[in-house]
Chain A
Amino acid sequence: MRRSSNRKSSSASAAAGSGSTKAASKEFEKIDHLFNVYADKSSAIIDPEGIEQLCSSLEVDYTDVRILMLAWKMKAQKQGFFTLEEWRTGLKALRADSMSKLKKALPELVKEVSRPTDFLDFYSYAFRYCLTEDKQKCIDIESACQLLSLVLGTQFGPQVDKFTEYLKSQSEYKVMNMDQWMGFYRFCNEIPFPSLENYDSDLAWPLILDNFVEWFRENQK
Chain B
Amino acid sequence: MNSQSQSQSQSQRRKNFKIEAFKHKVELDPKYAERTWKVLEHAIHEIYNNNASRLSFEELYRSAYNMVLHKYGDKLYSGLVATMTAHLNKIAKSVESAQGGLFLEKLNHKWADHNKALQMIRDILMYMDRSYVPTSHKTPVHELGLNLWRDHIIHSPNIQARLQDTLLDLVQRERTGDVINRGLMRNITKMLMDLGSSVYQDDFEKPFLDVSASFYSGESQQFIECCDCGSYLKKAERRLNEEMERVSHYLDAKTEVKITSAVEREMIANHMQRLVHMDNSGLVNMLIDDKYDDLSRMYSLFKRVPEGLSTIRDVMTSYLRERGRVLVTDTERLKDPVEFVQCLLNEKDKHDKIISTAFNNDKTFQNALNSSFEYFINLNNRSPEFISLYLDDKLRKGLKGASEEEVEVVLDKVMMLFRYLQEKDVFEKYYKQHLAKRLLSGKTVSDDAERSMIVKLKTECGYQFTSKLEGMFTDMKTSEDTMLDFYAKQSAELGDGPTLAVQILTTGSWPTQLTAACNLPPEILTVCEKFRTYYLGTHSGRRLTWQTNMGTADIKATFGKGHKHELNVSTYQMCVLMLFNSADGLTYREIEQATEIPALDLKRCLQSLACVKGKNVLRKEPMSKDISEEDVFYFNDKFTSKFVKVKIGTVVAQKESEPEKQETRQRVEEDRKPQIEAAIVRIMKSRRVLDHNSIVAEVTKQLQSRFLPNPVVIKKRIESLIEREFLERDKADRKLYRYLA
- Contact surface of A with B, Cβ cutoff 8 Å: 137, 177, 179-180, 186, 202-204, 206-207, 210
Contacts and interface: CB of A to CB of B under 8 A. Distances in A.
Contacts of B736: 204
Interface stretch (B103-111, B232-240, B716-724): B716-724
B719 A179 contact: yes
Closest 9 pairs (CB-CB, A-B): A204-B692, A207-B715, A179-B722, A177-B723, A204-B735, A207-B716, A203-B692, A203-B735, A206-B719
7 contacts: A179-B729, A202-B693, A203-B692, A204-B729, A204-B734, A204-B736, A207-B716
Nearest to A179: B722
Interface of B: 691-693, 711-712, 715-716, 719, 722-723, 729, 734-737
A170 B735 CA distance: 27
B728 to A, nearest CB: 9
A202 B693 CA distance: 7
A203 to B, nearest CB: 6
A180 B722 CA distance: 10
A179 B716 CA distance: 12
Contacts of A206: 719
Contacts of A177: 723
A187 to B, nearest CB: 11
A207 B692 CA distance: 12
Nearest to B711: A202
Nearest to A186: B734
Contacts of B691: 204
Nearest to A137: B723
Nearest to B725: A137
Contacts of B711: 202
Contacts of A203: 692-693, 735
Nearest to B714: A207
Contacts of A179: 719, 722-723, 729
A37 B736 CA distance: 50
Contacts of A204: 691-692, 729, 734-737
A129 to B, nearest CB: 19
A85 B121 CA distance: 130
A202 B722 CA distance: 18
B418 to A, nearest CB: 32
Given A179-B719, A204-B729, A207-B719, 12 more contacts: A137-B723, A177-B723, A179-B722, A202-B692, A202-B693, A202-B711, A203-B692, A203-B693, A204-B736, A207-B715, A210-B712, A210-B715
Contacts of A202: 692-693, 711
A137 B734 CA distance: 21
The residue among B693, B711, B734, B736 with the most chain A CB atoms within 10 A of its own CB is B734
Q: Is the interface of A mostly helix, strand, loop or mixed?
A: mixed
A207 B723 CA distance: 13
B720 to A, nearest CB: 10
A206 B692 CA distance: 11
Contacts of B716: 207
A198 to B, nearest CB: 13
A203 B733 CA distance: 12
B722 to A, nearest CB: 5
A203 B718 CA distance: 12
Nearest to A182: B729
Nearest to B733: A204
B61 to A, nearest CB: 95
Contacts of B722: 179
A71 to B, nearest CB: 25
B251 to A, nearest CB: 64
A18 B716 CA distance: 47
Contacts of A207: 712, 715-716, 719
A200 to B, nearest CB: 10
A148 B346 CA distance: 62
A173 B722 CA distance: 16
A202 B712 CA distance: 9
Contacts of B692: 202-204
A202 B723 CA distance: 20
A121 to B, nearest CB: 13
Contacts of B719: 179-180, 206-207
B608 to A, nearest CB: 41
Contacts of B723: 137, 177, 179
Nearest to B717: A207
Nearest to B730: A204
B725 to A, nearest CB: 9
A12 B690 CA distance: 58
Contacts of B715: 207, 210
Contacts of B735: 203-204
Contacts of A210: 712, 715
The residue among A180, A207, A210 with the most chain B CB atoms within 10 A of its own CB is A207
A137 B712 CA distance: 23
B698 to A, nearest CB: 15
Contacts of B737: 204
A80 B710 CA distance: 43
A179 B734 CA distance: 12
A210 B714 CA distance: 13
B479 to A, nearest CB: 45
Contacts of A180: 719
Contacts of A186: 734
A125 to B, nearest CB: 17
A210 B716 CA distance: 11
A177 B712 CA distance: 18
Nearest to B713: A207
Nearest to A178: B723
A207 B734 CA distance: 14
Contacts of B712: 207, 210
A204 B727 CA distance: 13
A172 to B, nearest CB: 10
A180 B723 CA distance: 10
B180 to A, nearest CB: 73
B724 to A, nearest CB: 9
A41 B529 CA distance: 65
A206 B728 CA distance: 12
A203 B735 CA distance: 6
The residue among B711, B722, B737 with the most chain A CB atoms within 10 A of its own CB is B722
A202 B696 CA distance: 10
A210 B711 CA distance: 12
A150 B729 CA distance: 26
Contacts of B734: 186, 204
Nearest to A138: B723
Nearest to B693: A202
A202 B715 CA distance: 9
A137 B725 CA distance: 11
A180 B719 CA distance: 9
B641 to A, nearest CB: 55
Contacts of B729: 179, 204
A204 B731 CA distance: 13
B689 to A, nearest CB: 12
A186 B735 CA distance: 12
A204 B680 CA distance: 14
B614 to A, nearest CB: 51
Nearest to A211: B712
Nearest to B715: A207
The residue among A137, A177, A179, A210 with the most chain B CB atoms within 10 A of its own CB is A179
A137 B716 CA distance: 17
B700 to A, nearest CB: 13
A204 B692 CA distance: 6
A204 B696 CA distance: 11
A207 B716 CA distance: 6
A34 to B, nearest CB: 38
A186 B732 CA distance: 13
